[in-house]
Each structure stands twice: as structure tokens, then as C-alpha cells.
Structure 1
Amino acid sequence: MPEETDGTLLPWDKAMLLLADPPPPKQASIVSSHAGWYHIGPQPETPMDLHDRESDLTEEGDPLLGHALICKMMFVSGETGDVSPETTSMIEGIVQQQVMEMLKRATDLAARRGVRTISTDDLIFLIRHDKAKVSRLRTFLSWKDVRKSAKDSDEKGGGGADAGGVEDFDLAANDPTLGTAGPSVGTRNSKNKKAKIGLPWDVSSFYSEVVPEREDEEDEEEEEMNAATLQRLKQADERTKGMNAEEYLHFSECRQASFTFRKGKRFREWAGFGVVTDSKPNDDIVDILGFLTYEIVTLLTEEALKVKAAEDALKRDSGGDEEKRGRKRRREPGLFDPPEEARTPVGPKHIQEAYRRLQKPDLKSRYMHHIPKGNWQRPLKLI
């Protein structure tokens, strides 16, 4: 029994008593001291453990925004290394913050229109300045209508031999190269032609008469979208041309990774429906958010890879740190020399720097910002 001074036990005396007679595991006590907090008894779960256990499982037991799912999306975007859970957790936090900000701004736009429910136009309006992304999203929605109309026509026609092909038809909704994806065999007919999605702020919507469009006519947004999509297709081709059948099958499965497929209820809770906004989302809202979240992960990964490439080039030019410099060979590598050190994946610092670069304001938004404004904080930029 520790000594008592004035009838009270000191913090370390209480710790000794708890060590001598520890409480049950589920009722582990926490003793406060002047230096901090000390956990007595079994080691409790860390916030990272609780976060992974709660966010990796849905009502069906499937992963939502867990480590494995984000690794698949990063693999498609170019990251082939074994990404740490800290990196994927940071990406998940960024994506969740972006989704909640989208819902908050979309709710404000709906309130300006005098309605309580957000629409697809409210979400598209938030990214209207990114013409390439808007064009890819409109193409995604167009092919979604094609699939829906094809399924409805087959159900009315009683199915048949081609019904299975339409059921198996998958547009890879979260594929970043969806803009150039063509229709499958089940949709190559005149009845299921891809419809163009119109927007209320387009110039064509100002007139009552609609000019018929030609099939060979492309607007500036489609040309800009095609340039970005062709660049991604070129990068994907460079990565997959050396793969065997098994590796390419894994790459194809990773391209099907989705934030919303069979995770509707869990995704709504994770996104903040009922907390950030009282609007009840329909299937189109959830699909658009799934498309945009995939785009966020892609942009973060691509920018983080650029940051890491610049860092590796700087280390290579400067000779690296002192420890690695002493182990480097002073001669050219020979035929039977052991392989060099494996490439390290992107880490939290690369994701943080990539997010900082993506949050950099545009030239238009920096006008007259040199004037002091007191305690002013720049609003969050949607990426």
C-alpha cells in the first residue's frame, strides 16, 4: 500500500493500485496526471482502429471507403506500390470533406431556387468551371440513360436471347476514361441512342426552338474532354501493354471499384445525408457523387505522384541522404549485381502537398486579395 500524505492518493499511487488490482478489460480506467493521460489495463483501440472497423464495413459487410478500395483506385491512377493505411485514411478524410462541402453548397443553391431537395443540376453547377469534368459527367449520365432504356425495352419485350447481354452490360461508372467508352453489343441500335444531357445555364436553353445537332459536330467542352481522356488512355495503355492475362484481369477488377455500388445506405450515412442536408437523395444524386469522389481520388493520386517524382529527382541529383550515400556503389552496376532498392509508394506528405496544390486558388479568384481583410479565411475549393 503506497504511503498517504494528507489522506489523498497521488496520481502515480492510483496507478500502482490499479496495476495491483486491474479492472475488467471492458472497464479499463484512465488515470490523469500532470504530464498527460495514462491508460491502465489492456491497450484500448486507437482511433485508427475504430475508424477502419466502422468505415470499412457496410450493412452487407462489404468495404466502402476502406484501405483496400482506395488502394484499387490509386492502382488504376498509377500507384503500384503498397500504400500505407495512414495515406488511405488521409485520402478518405479529404474525400469526405469534399462531399460534405458539395452537399452544403448544393443545399444553398436549392434554397435559392425555393426548393428543399437538391437536384443533379445543383451538383453539376458546382463544377461548371471544369469543362472537361462536366463533359465526362454528362457522358456518364447519357450512357446511364442508355442502359436504363435498354433494360426497360427488354423487360417490355419479354427478354429473349439478348436480355442476358443487357443485364451484364456494365459502363464502369467510376472509370475515369468513361468519356470515350463505346456502347456494348446490347446498346448498338438506333432505339437506344445516347441522349445529350442539357443544362439550364447552356445558351441553347435560352431559346424555345432547339436546333438539331449533327452527329459529327463536337463542341469545345467535348474537345477538351477528349484531350484529357486521351491522355489518360495513353497512360493506361503504357501501363497495361506489358501485363499478362492475370495482371490485366486484376487491373480490370480495380477499374470497377465503386464508392456507391451496393453501398447506398452506408454511403448516405458517410456523406452526411440527414446531417449536412435534409434532402433525400435519389439514385442519380448518389451516382453523381460516386463519380465525383472517384475523380477526387484520381486527381489526388496523379498530383501526389508528380510530387513524389519531383522529390525523387531532387534526391537523385543531390545524392540523397548521408546514410544511403555511403551504401551506394562507386561503379556502374554489373550483370550479376543485386537489384536496386524497390520504389517506395506515395506517403501522407505527398498527399498533403498534392492537396495543397489542388487548393491553390485560380488567378480569377485572387483578384484584389492583396488588400488586408482582417481575419479572413479562404473557402474550401472543390477539386
Structure 2
Amino acid sequence: MSDVRAKYRTEIQQMMFVSGETGDVSPETTSMIEGIVQQQVTEMLKRATELAARRGVRTISTDDLIFLIRHDKAKVSRLRTFLSWKDVRKSAKDSDEKGGGGGDAGGVDDFDIAANDPTLGTGPSVGTRNAKNKKAKVGLPWDVSSFYSEQVPEREDEEDEEEEEMNAATLQRLKQADERTKGMNAEEYLHFSECRQASFTFRKGKRFREWAGFGVVTDSKPNDDIVDILGFLTYEIVTLLTEEALKVKAAEDALKRDSGGDEEKRGRKRRREPGLFDPPEEARTPVGSKHIQEAYRRLQKPDLKANYFKHIPKGTWQRSLKLI
């Protein structure tokens, strides 16, 4: 297990770097994030197993995992798009193996990039979307359209509320990535691109099953889709923790600048703006474990509907872990 944890610490550092963190995160911080992610995955498997038991089966399905995050419409939409393009990628590879793809099949390498980089959530680039690799929509049992035997034909220009939220979140992430890479040279950008491919599950399925607790938390034997979904969600967890921790650190640094940072500068009202001939400021320091703790506390903040249980004594009711 120690080898697995050491490997995932490297993956976590790469994910954090893509999310805006420096490349020298301390082992203590990455270990704390890994513990949080492992706790979240364990809770997902536990709840998914309970949902499967309600249906009278022992094996969890992809719908059980998606049901756990159903309230986050943007994340659900990104996950459905991820699974759709994963299916297209698999079909394209199968057609190539059978000799039916030829030179026009193309785009398989693009699908590899999309499948291993869930931060985009939009699959291959627009140029690879043709009639042969058009993605199929992933339906869910609780969708309103599944209640009827006849389905309304979809329009190409039609977007639902989930897709609109997903597009807004995706554009925001692309904008942030553009800001982070604006001043990079070719070598730095190549490293950034490699870090975007970091994953808990890609080519590490066996190790991930052991790390996640399959066979301990649940007796279900996961298929490839289950592992890929968990890989997608773990990437999202690390990204959210990093972005929230960066906000915490930014607020802390701003407070230190306003107060002077140490006792010698507390008498000054406010630091002046840097001048033309001032020495360069110190390099940006990475987030620490205290920032991760505060970020996790904020992400665990209960929803408004949980306030209805405030009148219940603490001894008879305990707030469950919130999935992030």
C-alpha cells in the first residue's frame, strides 16, 4: 500500500499544479489530500452499495454512482459527456481493429486525450466531431424522458440546463488554464500538458481497486466504467480542494500584507504599492495543510436544507459526510 500512496502523491501534485498550485507541494499536504480523497471514495462505494441493495442486487452500477452527485448538475453533465466520448473512443478502436476504420476513422488519439483529461469535460476538439464519431447521449433512469415509451427527437441546437452549466464551468476552467500558461515557454507548457493527464485510475486499475477498498468496503467487482467514473470524480475532488485552498491562502496573504506580516511592520497602516526599482517579491509559496483543512471545512458546509435539522438534539442525529 505504501507504493500506491507514493505514486498517488505524485499524481496529486500534478493535478494541483494544473489547478493553479506551485509544483513543489509538501508531502504532508499531498498526504492529507490523498486521505480526503480516499475517504470520499470509500463513502461513495458505501452509499452506492446501499443503493444497489435497495434494488435487490449486490453489484453497483454506473447509475448508482451518478445518483450520488445528481444535485451537482454541471458535474453530472461533464460526467455524462465523458462517458459518451469514452464509448465513442471504444467504438472507434473496435472499428480500427476490424479494419473498418481506414484512414478516415482518425481521431482515436484525440479520444485518448479526452478520456484521460476529465478537466475539459467536452471530449475531442470540434474538428474531430464528424458523422462517424458523434457522441451518444447517456440516459439516466430518473430523467423525465425515461418515464415515457416514446422519445422526442433531439435537436442539434438544443441544450438543457445541465449542459449550459457545464459549458459555463468548462469555459471558466479553460480561461483559468489560459491565464496559467500565458507566460510559459515550450518546455513548461509541455510539462503542464503532461500534468493534465494525471489520473488515479489510468493504467492503474488494479492498484486503484486495492486503494479504494473494493473487496473491503463493497463486495462488488467493478467494471471499467465504474473505475473510470471514480477516476473522474477523484480528479474533481482534488481540483475543488486545490481551488478552495488557493482562495483561503490568498485571503490569508492579503491579510498579512495589510497588517504588515510581522510585529516589526504592524505599526504601518498599509504597505505601499511596489515601485519601479523595488527588488522582486518573494516567490509564491505553496498551500499548506492548514489551507487544505480550511478548504475541506468550507466544502463540507451543509446545504440550506440541512438547517431544518438544527432543532434535533446532537445525540440523536449526526450530519453525514458531504460528497464534494
Using structure 1 for the length normalisation, give the TM-score.
0.76
* 1:162-186 deviation per Cα after TM superposition (whole angstroms, max 9, x unaligned): 5775257423335344223x53599
Describe the shift of the 1:185–1:366 C-alpha distance in structure 2 as closer, same or farther (beyond 3 A). closer
Describe the shift of the 1:340–1:235 C-alpha distance in structure 2 as closer, same or farther (beyond 3 A). same
Which residue number in structure 1 is paired with residue 319 of structure 2? 378
Describe the shift of the 1:358–1:333 C-alpha distance in structure 2 as closer, same or farther (beyond 3 A). closer
* 1:4-59 deviation per Cα after TM superposition (whole angstroms, max 9, x unaligned): xxxxxxxxxxxxxxxxxxxxxxxxxxxxxxxxxxxxxxxxxxxxxxxxxxxxxxxx
Structure 2 counterpart of 1:354, from 295, 298, 306 = 295
* Conserved? CA contact 2:74–2:166, under 8 Å: yes
Q: Which piece of structure 1 moves more, 242-251 or 157-166?
A: 157-166
Helix, strand or coil for the counterpart of 1:148? helix
Shift of 1:152: 1.2
* 1:135-186 deviation per Cα after TM superposition (whole angstroms, max 9, x unaligned): 0000000000110111111222266445775257423335344223x53599
Shift of 1:76: 0.5
Describe the shift of the 1:228–1:164 C-alpha distance in structure 2 as closer, same or farther (beyond 3 A). closer
Cα distance between partner residues in 2 of 1:202 and 1:330: 56
Helix, strand or coil for the counterpart of 1:178? coil
Describe the shift of the 1:370–1:190 C-alpha distance in structure 2 as closer, same or farther (beyond 3 A). same
Cα distance between partner residues in 1 of 2:273 and 2:40: 48
Shift of 1:324: 6.5
Cα distance between partner residues in 1 of 2:159 and 2:271: 57
* Conserved? CA contact 1:151–1:167, under 8 Å: no
Cα distance between partner residues in 2 of 1:275 and 1:228: 35
Cα distance between partner residues in 2 of 1:159 and 1:190: 13
Q: Which piece of structure 1 moves more, 129-138 or 225-234?
A: 225-234
Shift of 1:314: 1.1
Which residue number in structure 2 is paired with residue 44 of structure 1? none
* 1:332-368 deviation per Cα after TM superposition (whole angstroms, max 9, x unaligned): 7555543222221100000000000000100012213
Using structure 2 for the length normalisation, give the TM-score.
0.89
Shift of 1:244: 1.6
Helix, strand or coil for the counterpart of 1:327? coil
Q: Determine which structure has more spread, i.e. the larger CA radius of gyration.
A: 1
* Conserved? CA contact 1:142–1:195, under 8 Å: yes
* Conserved? CA contact 1:172–1:256, under 8 Å: no
Question: Structure 1: where are the runs of 5+ without partners?
Answer: 1-71
* Conserved? CA contact 2:79–2:232, under 8 Å: yes
Cα distance between partner residues in 2 of 1:208 and 1:214: 19
* Conserved? CA contact 1:300–1:354, under 8 Å: yes
Q: Which has the higher contact order (CA 8 A, sep 6+)?
A: 2
Cα distance between partner residues in 1 of 2:111 and 2:76: 24
* Conserved? CA contact 1:165–1:186, under 8 Å: no
